[in-house]
Amino acid sequence: MKRQQRIRDGILLNPLGPMVTLGLLVLLVLLTQGCGKKSIATPLNNTSDFPETRFLRAEGGGPTGMDARRQALAELSSIFESRVQSQTTSLATSSLGSDNIEHFEKTIESQIQIFSSVRLEGAKIGKIWQDEAGDFHALAVLDRVDAGRNWTQDLERLDNRLRAEAIALEKIKGRLPRMATLNRIMSLSLERHGIESRLAVVNYPALSELELDMAKMTSELALIQAELKFYIDVTGEYGPVAGKILSKALTQNGILITLDMDKADAWVMGQVEVTPLSLANPKIVFVRATGDVEVIETGSHALFAEINENLRKGHVDQNEAMHKAVMAISQLISQRLLSALGINKIHTKESVQ
Quick: pLDDT tens for 174-213. 999 999 999 999 999 999 999 999 999 999 988 777 888 8
Domain check: are 43 and 190 in the same one? yes
What are the tens digits of pLDDT across the range 47-76?
A: 568 999 999 999 999 999 999 999 999 999
Residues 185 and 299 in one domain: no
**What pLDDT, on a 0 to 100 scale, did the predictor assign at position 38?**
37
Q: Residues of the chain with pLDDT > 90: what percent?
A: 57
Beta pairing, strands 266-277 & 229-235: parallel
Indicate the residue among 171, 196, 227 that finishes a domain.
227
Q: Could you tell me if 211 and 292 lie in one domain?
A: no
At residue 291, the pLDDT reads 95
Domain co-membership, 216 together with 247: no
257 backbone dihedrals φ, ψ, rounded to 5°: -115, 135
Residue 171 has pLDDT above 60, yes or no: yes
User: Do 85 and 200 have their domain in common?
Assistant: yes
Condensed to tens digits (0 to 9), the pLDDT of residues 205-249 reads: 887 778 888 889 999 999 999 999 999 999 989 999 999 999 999
Does the pLDDT of residue 104 top 90, yes or no? no
- Per-residue pLDDT at 23: 52
Helix and strand numbers, DSSP H then E, in the chain: 10, 8
Percent pLDDT > 70 in the chain is 83
Based on the domain organization, do 287 and 323 belong to the same domain?
A: yes
Q: What are the percentages of helix, strand and coil residues in the chain, rounded to 5? A: 55, 20, 25
Q: Is residue 348, in this structure, part of any structural domain at all?
A: no
- Is 107 in the same domain as 196? yes
Three-state DSSP class for 100? helix
Query: Both 168 and 262 in a single domain?
Result: no
Instruction: Count the domains in the chain.
Output: 3
**C-alpha distance across the termini of the chain, in Å:** 78
| 8 A C-beta contact, residue 96 and residue 108 | yes
Provide CB contacts within 8 A for 187, sequence distance 6+.
111, 342, 343, 344
183, 281: one domain: no
Residue 29's domain comprises: 2-35
